[in-house]
Structures are given as structure tokens and as C-alpha cells.
Amino acid sequence: MSGDALAAAKARAAGFGRWHPAEALVWIAAIAAYFVFPGYMALGAQALILVLFALSLDLILGYAGIVSLGHAAYFGIGAYAAGMLSAHLGWHEPISGLLVAGAVAAAYGFLTGVVLLRYHGLTLLMLTLVAAILLYEAANAWSDVTGGFDGLLGITPAPLFGTFEYDLWGRTHYWYVLAVLFICFLGARRLVYSPFGRALVGLRENTRRMHALGAPVYWRQVQIYTIACAMAGIAGGLFAQTNAFVTLDAMSFLRSGTVIIVLILGGVGRLYGAFIGGVVYAVLEDELAKASPEFWEFGIGLVLVCLVLFARDGIAGVAVRLWQRWRR
């Protein structure tokens, strides 16, 4: 009966974006990791930073469909902003440092977005790549400020809220990063399930139609780009604060490429894809890259090729399909 279909559609709309029990599992697992793997907290923190970085890329790649080969520029600029705040300006409070990192990255994201998002296809790909390389070269040239290849030293974040000291095992770092990730994730989730988020999906699916619906396509893209860059900058800020050290590779092409791989691995356009990809990649890299760098590199290449040929929607996509099949 057609009335049923309409009711079903309305029910779907009414349930759109409600928290799913499986989501809680992810966060419980993240909290449990602290108790189950106490020796791996330093790795855990870096993995979560990678997740946040990948999440920021998902907003532009998975939801708005903008392919960028230079996203690390915003991670790097956030890292240097937070780092320099502490090392050069003597401001050590970490949370405000993160806000500064995010703001600087957002500003840079807005300026570059306004210029670059007028272009499409291969041109845009090249422009994002070249713009990121230019930033890298500029940071290298100003080595007295950034520390150049040797890196920025002297980053000394103050204890969180004045009370939580950092230890060599990275435990405080882990909670700090997890909390920041959670807050950013809440924001991203709310955005994705808002009318704006839906319009972004429309933009990705059929840009021509969005123009014909009266949508200000360009400005929407600039908006989401700016938000995504702010998030990347916050991830960079966390990177600087937890490592107490920033080098140029924070904004390298390798980092831009890695975060794309992480997202593809986990699944593009599904918020939790960034989670899965980030954790899997960080753990595998830690285990395998040290054992044999060539096998790691070869393995990643092979995984990529197989993903594109057989599982374009990444681990998350495969998991969802398997679960749907199991339900029947």
C-alpha cells in the first residue's frame, strides 16, 4: 500500500541521525583500550589524532566530494601554530593552543578554499597539490621560525586544566586526545545529519542538480572546506602538543597521501570509516613498518589496489554489507 511507503519514508526521516547502539560500542572500545592496552597509550593517542585528521578529510572528500591531494597543509599549519605558540610566544595552555591552531587553519583554509574551489577535476587536484608543496617550501625557507628540517623544539604544553600532568606513558595524552576527538566528532556528526549535511551529499551526487535547485554551490563548498580545515588544524595542534616536536613532514605530501589511504581503507562518506581506517592503519604501521619497511610499503600498495578493485567502500562498507546479508 502506498500509504505504507510514505509512512516508511517519514519514519526513516524521523529516525535520521539518531544514535545507533553500535556507535556506542566504538566509544566504549576506545575507553576500554586504556585498561586493556595500558602500554600502548602513546600509540593510541597518535592513532586517535590520525582518526581526527581522517575525519576532517571525510567532510570534504566523503561528503562534499572534493578530492584534495594537499590536506596535510592544514594539519601542518595547525601543528606549527600550536607549536610556535608554546615554543616562541611562551603560551603553554593546551586547550587554548588547540583553539588557536584550529582558527589559524580555518583562516588559511578559507583563503585557499575561496581561490581553489573555483576549479574542478584535474586542475583542482593539481592546485591542492601544488599549494601544499608551496606551503612546505615556504615553511622550509623560514627555517629560523619553523626550525626547518630540524624541526620545532621547545614545545612544552602546560598540564591540562592546571592539574593533569603528562607522563612518559602517554596516559594523560590519550584521554586528552580522546576527549577532543569526541567533541569534534559530535560536531561533525551533527553537521552531517543536518539539512546542510544532506545538501552536501546532494552536491556530491549531482552538482548540476544542486545549481538548478538554487543552491549556492561554491559558497557551500567553501564553508565545509573551512570547517574541515579547522578540524585538521586541531588534529595538527594535538600532534604538536603530544609529540612536543613538529617537523616539516607534518605538512608533507606523504602525510596528505597517507590520510587519503586511511580514509579509503576505513570507508569514505561514513563517519566511522575514519575511525576504523585510522586505528587499523596506525596499529598495522606500528607492527609491520618496523619489521620490514619494504613489505609494509608493498602491502599498503597491494591493499590499495585491492580496495579499489574489490571494496571501494572500504572496511566499513564491507562490514555494513556483510551485516545486511547476515540479517536476512
Partner 1 sequence: MTDVVISIVFDGLAYAMLLFVISVGLSVTMGLMGFINLAHGAFAMAGGYAVTSLTGGLGLPYPLALLAAAVIVGVASVPVERLLYARVYAARELDQVMLTIGLVFMAIAGFTFFYGPSPQTLQLPSYLTGQIDLGFRSFPTFRAVVIGIGLVLIAVLWFGFERTGFGARIRAAVDNRTMAQVVGIDVDRLFMITFAVGSGLAALGGGVAVEMLGVSPVFAAQYLVYFLIVVAVGGLGSIKGAFFAALVLGIVDNAGKYLWPDGGAFFIYALTLALLLVRPQGLAGRS
Partner 2 sequence: MSLLATHALYKSFGQLVVADGIDFELGPGDRHALIGPNGAGKTTFVNLLTGALAPSDGRVMLDGRDITRLGEAQRVKRGLVRTFQINQLFAGLTVLENVALAVAERRGAASVFWTPLRRRADLIDEAADLLVQLDLTAVADTAVAAVPYGLQRMLELALALALKPRVLLLDEPTAGVPSAESHRMLEAVEALGQDLAVLIIEHDMDVVFRFASAVTVLVGGKVLVQGAPDEIARNADVRAVYLAESRDD
Task: Name the residues that contact partner 2, by CB under 8 A.
Answer: 2-3, 5-6, 8-10, 12-18, 190-191, 193-199, 201-202, 205-206, 208-209, 211-217, 220
The CA-to-CA distance between both ends of the chain, in Å, stands at 23
Closest to partner 1 by CB, 48 vs 60, is: 60
Q: Which is nearer to partner 2, 208 or 327 (CB)?
A: 208
Angle between helices 271-284 and 171-192 (to 10 degrees): 150
Taking the CA of residue 9 as centre, how many other CA atoms within 13 Å lie in the half-sphere pointing to its CB?
6
Which is closer to partner 2, CB of 162 or CB of 214? 214
Residue 216 touches which member of partner 1, partner 2, none, C-beta under 5-8 Å by kind: partner 2
Q: Residue 103 has which C-alpha cell?
A: 582558527
Tell me, residue by residue from 225 to 254, as one string, x for binding to partner 1 by CB under 8 A and - for no binding.
----------------------------x-
Q: Which three cell numbers stand for residue 300?
A: 599498503
Applying CB under 8 A, the site for partner 1 has a residue count of: 41
Helix, strand, coil percent values for the chain (each to nearest 5):
80, 0, 20
Give the dihedral of Cα atoms 247, 286, 42, 270; nearest 10 deg: 90
Shortest distance, CB of residue 311 to partner 2, whole angstroms?
A: 18
Q: In the block, which residue shows the cell 584535474?
A: 122
Q: How far is Cα 110 from Cα 87, in angstroms, rounded to an integer?
A: 26
In the complex, the smallest distance separating the C-beta of residue 259 from partner 1, rounded to whole angstroms, is 12
Is residue 159 helix, strand or coil? coil
The 3-state DSSP class for residue 164 equals strand
Considering only residues 248 to 287 of the shown chain, the ones binding partner 1 according to CB under 8 A are 253, 257, 260-261, 264, 268
Q: Which is nearer to partner 2, 147 or 269 (CB)?
A: 269
- DSSP string over 260-293: HHHHHHH-TTSHHHHHHHHHHHHHHIIIIIHH-H
Please identify which residue in 95, 131, 201, 318 interacts with partner 1, judged by CB under 8 A: 131
150 binds partner 1 (CB under 8 A): no
Query: Shortest Cβ distance from residue 16 to partner 2 (Å)?
Result: 5
Q: Could you give phi then psi for residue 34, rounded to 5 degrees? A: -60, -35
- The binding site for partner 1 (CB under 8 A) comprises 61, 67, 69, 115, 119, 121-123, 125-127, 129-131, 133-134, 137-138, 140-141, 253, 257, 260-261, 264, 268, 294-298, 300-305, 307-309, 312
